[in-house]
């Protein structure tokens, strides 16, 4: 019997120690279910709340800002892997070019800041007004930077259709 593509994908995911893989619309119900799965997986982790907060922030970004929609919800990919005591959280979704360019500049700026500058900017944002184009308080990426163990990684890949495939990856030490 010939091996199917799904069998190879299953084996590959198993070797990578995938904890969670989801692709589709990120609804409130889906986010709640995925959060429960992750919560069970990291039950013994001391910094469980930090990891869960970052995960929720990342998933909400997909739901709110993806240019690909199913009803009112953004569509994207959520992947969580564990390897060598590192938990990797990754999200990916399509953005239109008008959204992608300023986001890329914002993320590059945030990554250039020192820890102290991040804290100062965070305090300014808490005291300031909500940005017009934001579904939240504009704190999401600052929260991610503050809570994760390493600087996040992002990529912006232009597609043949004229939009951008945005990927955000965050890492935590386990144990």
pLDDT for 127: 84
For residues 77 and 92, is the Cβ–Cβ distance under 8 A? yes
| Residue-range definition of the domain harbouring residue 44 | 17-173
Render pLDDT for 97-118 as a digit per residue (tens, 0 to 9): 999 999 999 999 999 999 899 9
pLDDT for 137: 53
Residues ≥6 apart with Cβ < 8 Å to 52: 35, 38, 39, 42
H/E segment holding residue 139: none
User: Into how many domains does the chain fold?
Assistant: 1
For residues 25 and 74, is the Cβ–Cβ distance under 8 A? yes
Render pLDDT for 2-29 as a digit per residue (tens, 0 to 9): 656 788 877 776 776 678 999 999 999 9
Residue 6 lies in a domain: no
pLDDT < 50 regions, the chain: none
Handedness of CA 58, 76, 87, 168 (dihedral sign): negative
Residue 5 lies in a domain: no
pLDDT for 1: 55
Residue 11 lies in a domain: no
CATH code for position 39:
3.30.565.10
Q: How far is CA 148 from CA 5, 49, 54, 79, 92, in A?
A: 34, 11, 8, 16, 18
Q: How far is CA 163 from CA 80, 133, 159, in A?
A: 25, 19, 6
Give CA–CA dist 84/142, Å, rounded: 26
Residue 12 lies in a domain: no
């Amino acid at each position: 019997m010939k091996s199917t593509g799904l069998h190879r994908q299953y084996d590959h995911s198993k070797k990578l120690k995938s904890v969670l893989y989801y692709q589709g619309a990120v609804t409130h119900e889906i986010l709640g279910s995925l959060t429960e799965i992750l919560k069970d997986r990291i039950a013994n982790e001391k910094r469980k709340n930090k990891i869960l907060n970052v995960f929720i922030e990342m998933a909400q970004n997909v739901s709110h800002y993806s240019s690909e929609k199913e009803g009112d919800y953004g569509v994207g990919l959520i992947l969580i892997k564990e390897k060598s005591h590192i938990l990797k959280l990754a999200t990916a979704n399509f953005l239109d070019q008008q959204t992608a360019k300023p986001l890329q500049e914002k993320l590059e700026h945030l990554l250039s800041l020192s820890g102290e500058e991040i804290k100062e900017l965070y305090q300014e944002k808490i005291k300031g007004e909500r940005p017009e184009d934001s579904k939240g308080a504009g704190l999401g990426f600052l929260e991610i930077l503050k809570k994760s163990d390493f600087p996040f990684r992002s990529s912006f890949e232009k597609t043949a259709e004229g939009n951008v495939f945005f990927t955000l990856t965050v890492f935590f030490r386990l144990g």
